[in-house]
Amino acid sequence: MAGDNSQYFPVCLKIADRQCLVIGGGRVGERKVQGLLDHGARVTVISPELSEALAVLLRAGTIDWLPRLYQEGDLAEAFLVIAATDDLGVQERVHAEAEARNILLNVADVPKWCNFILPATVRRGDLSISVSTAGRSPALASALRQALEVQFGSEYGAMVDILGVLRETVLANGRPHAENKLIFARLANPEMAVWIKDGLWQNLVSHIQEVLGPDASLDCLEKVRQEYQQSSGAK
C-alpha cells in the first residue's frame, strides 16, 4: 500500500572488512556468499555441508566455515546475516536472535523475517541501479533489472569513472558549494555515455574543456578509454 510506513528504506551499505554470516551452504548460499565477497565482506558460512563452489572458496582461504547447524549465539559478532536455508525452525530462531541483537538480517525468499532485502541490481563499475518491490514480486524486479542491463551498458561505468576524477579536481579548487553543484550538473551530461560507446572521445574533451576551461586536466580520459576498450572490446 502506498504510504505504508513499514516500507523498506533504500540504503547502500559499506560491508568491506565487516563480518557477515551466511547460514546455509547450498546453491542459494553460494549466490549470497559471492555477492558479499564482491563487496569486500569477511564471510563465514554456517552449514553441515558446503556446495562444491563454496568448498573451492574455503580451500582458497576466501571464506570461513562452521561445519554444523546454526546455534543460538552465532550472530554475536556479525554485522549482517543472510539465512539461506528453507528450514522454518532455523529461520525463526535466527530472526529472533537478530532482532534481539539489532543485527541486519535477510532470510532468502521470506520477507516477513527480513529487516532488509536485497534488490535486483545492475552494476556497471561504481554505478549501481537497483529495483525493489519490497519482496512482493521478485519476478518483476528481475524483469526490470534485465531491461536496465540492456539500457545501461559498460559505457556508464566509464562515465562514472571520468566524473569521479573530475569531481575531485573541481573540489580541490575550493569553490563555494553552490558553484560546485552547478559545475557538477553541467559535467554530468547524459550524452557522455553515448560518446564513450561510439568512441567519440574528442567530444568528451570538448565538453570537459567547455565546462572546466581549456586548461582542465584530461589525464583521466586516456586511462578510462583504455580500460573501457579492453573490457568492452570497443575500438
- What are the grid coordinates assigned to 32, written together? 549470497
Burial of 112 (0-12, 13-18, 19+ CB in 10 A): exposed
Which residues of the chain carry a pLDDT beneath 70? Answer: 1-6, 234-235
pTM of the model: 0.84
Q: Output the pLDDT for position 2.
A: 47
What count of other Cβ atoms lies within 10 Å of the Cβ of residue 77? 11
Contact yes or no for 42/20 (Cβ under 8 A): yes
Domain boundaries, the chain: 1-118, 155-232
- What are the grid coordinates assigned to 128, written together? 549501481
Q: Output the pLDDT for position 3.
A: 46
Rounded Cα gap, residues 76 and 144, in angstroms: 37
Contact yes or no for 94/83 (Cβ under 8 A): yes
Rounded Cα gap, residues 118 and 154, in angstroms: 22
Q: Output the pLDDT for position 235.
A: 56
Rounded Cα gap, residues 131 and 10, in angstroms: 10
- Angle 219-232/201-212 helices, nearest 10 degrees? 150
Helix (H/G/I), strand (E/B), else coil: 163 = helix
Q: Output the pLDDT for position 100.
A: 98
Contact yes or no for 18/44 (Cβ under 8 A): no
Q: What amino acid occupies position 102?
A: N
Domain 1-118, CATH class in plain words: alpha beta
User: Which residue has 524486479 as its cell numbers?
Assistant: 141
Q: Output the pLDDT for position 5.
A: 56
Q: Is the dihedral of CA 129, 133, 135, 140 positive or negative?
A: negative
Buried b (16+ CB within 10 A) or exposed e, 51-76: beebeebbeeeebebbeeebeeebbe
- What are the grid coordinates assigned to 30, written together? 553460494
Q: Is the dihedral of CA 150, 155, 161, 166 positive or negative?
A: negative
